[in-house]
Structure 1
């Protein structure tokens, strides 16, 4: 059974991502581990010699009470989608979010992480350094990141950008495993520029190796890599875009400023980030 970690602050953005997490658990026959983290303020005990421990205890208790109140709401969401049979377990952790995600991934033997990110600014922060972005760079398992305005819909087509490297091949094999469970197709894109070093023979080798899989390969000759990817998302009706985290510098520019707004508003789709060693 696959184990899916769902970090949440119980916001609307997180609740929207929770639906995606539930549906992923359904497809993978998995379970969800719901993680809520909080950071206690640094209090100098020399100024609060008598009651600083009471401050901490009070704050911890308030977080626990909120956690206890919010969990039934998540169960209602699950039951409302006829997914009440998905196993849910819970973790309340004090400390840094990214550190706790990394810790939970190891301790709970997590296979996937699902996280929400907010609107246009959320897409920017996802790639350029917020909680989700930091978690992305540190995470050792695939992470599905869902914008606040991205409703769940059945995944039929998964986009996969590649430069036909051996590392890309192992990632594609993992994506195909997911695609089989979703009964989805995978569409691979390679944007070939004037300085591209990928040989035609390498592309043919990939086509032969994956000939029996539900995957197609598109090679686009263009110097406009970003625009070509946007066209690909639209023309191929991509439902989830896969990115490999070792290419993060490329995505930093791809989703910056006006391009970020274009993706977030015109192509509201989840991002599946897969770590590459």
Structure 2
């Protein structure tokens, strides 16, 4: 995770994205970063042999969206003005390529350090099957994605729960995370959910504990093990008893088949989280 200088917030002008925008304004104010609002129009239909078809209504939709996003940007600043120490620069853009392709293209063309996406959580079986827009984007774009549920309000990121599968990449990710969020001087608590079929012995867990708790850059961390039959349940049972400002997970790289049908703890957590969830690519 690199230094965060530009934060992208995809918006649909609804309550969820308004909350994500105001959160991003406060976070950007602390990080001295800029905020970029992106609204994606529905993708134009594709006709074989003709590519994307430009409908006569697209110019009108684009103009209306420009007016809406300008009003949205102003309203968000007004709502957050008392919470932001230094109001960041805000820019706006409209994409005509649909949400996922529009975000992917924007990230390719700009130096985005973080994507902040609001979520309504898992509401039906289709959400459980395909995942939220946020989790779908992980692996498609390089920047980390901050998933923000509607009830989440901005707090300085002082305590971070880093869910770990005991991988070396977790240590690397936590190190870069600490540097990116150094303005908060965060306390990082590694959390490992030990499953019934987990091959790690108590001696093995002690070895990992010493590795994860070893001071790095003068900063100490803690390593906690909790026992549960399900990773997601284990994480949120722990967080309900020990509140944190941020949950961090690393999404593993998977093939197409596994992405579609295999269980994903990250995808499941994004659907049920009640606090900000930062998803890092592996």
1:32 aligns with 2:46: no
- Number of the residue aligned with 2:245: 239
Cα offset, 1:22, TM superposition:
1.2
Say if 1:3 and 1:169 are closer, same or farther in 2 by CA, change over 3 A. same
Q: Helix, strand or coil for the counterpart of 2:134?
A: helix
- Number of the residue aligned with 1:184: 186
Write the deviation string for residues 203-241 of structure 1: whole angstroms up to 9, x where unpaired: 323322548314211123554544432232123212211
Write the deviation string for residues 156-193 of structure 1: whole angstroms up to 9, x where unpaired: 31110112211111111122224432232111111234
Whether the 8 Å CA contact 1:187–1:217 is kept in 2: the answer is yes
Whether the 8 Å CA contact 1:244–1:275 is kept in 2: the answer is yes
- Number of the residue aligned with 1:3: 6
- Number of the residue aligned with 1:216: 222
Cα offset, 1:70, TM superposition:
2.6
- Number of the residue aligned with 2:50: none
Distance 2:122 2:154 in 1: 18
Out of 261, 265, 268, which is 1:251 matched to?
Answer: 265
Cα offset, 1:141, TM superposition:
1.1
Aligned residue pair count: 261
Out of 151, 154, 157, which is 2:156 matched to?
Answer: 154
TM-score by length of 1: 0.81
- Number of the residue aligned with 1:49: none
Spell out the pairing of 1:260-271 with structure 2 (5 A cutoff).
263-264=272-273, 268-271=274-277
- Number of the residue aligned with 2:19: 16
Whether the 8 Å CA contact 2:160–2:248 is kept in 1: the answer is yes
- Number of the residue aligned with 1:140: 142
TM-score by length of 2: 0.79
Cα offset, 1:9, TM superposition:
0.9
Out of 266, 271, 279, which is 1:273 matched to?
Answer: 279
Q: Which runs of 5 or more residues in structure 1 are unaligned?
A: 45-51
- Number of the residue aligned with 2:58: 56
Distance 1:124 1:269 in 2: 22
State which drifts further: 143-152 or 197-206.
197-206
Whether the 8 Å CA contact 1:119–1:149 is kept in 2: the answer is no
Q: Helix, strand or coil for the counterpart of 2:93?
A: strand
Q: Helix, strand or coil for the counterpart of 2:152?
A: coil
Q: How much is the aligned-residue C-alpha RMSD, in angstroms?
A: 3.1
Distance 2:129 2:108 in 1: 24
Q: Helix, strand or coil for the counterpart of 1:121?
A: coil
- Number of the residue aligned with 1:86: 88
Spell out the pairing of 1:96-107 with structure 2 (5 A cutoff).
96-107=98-109
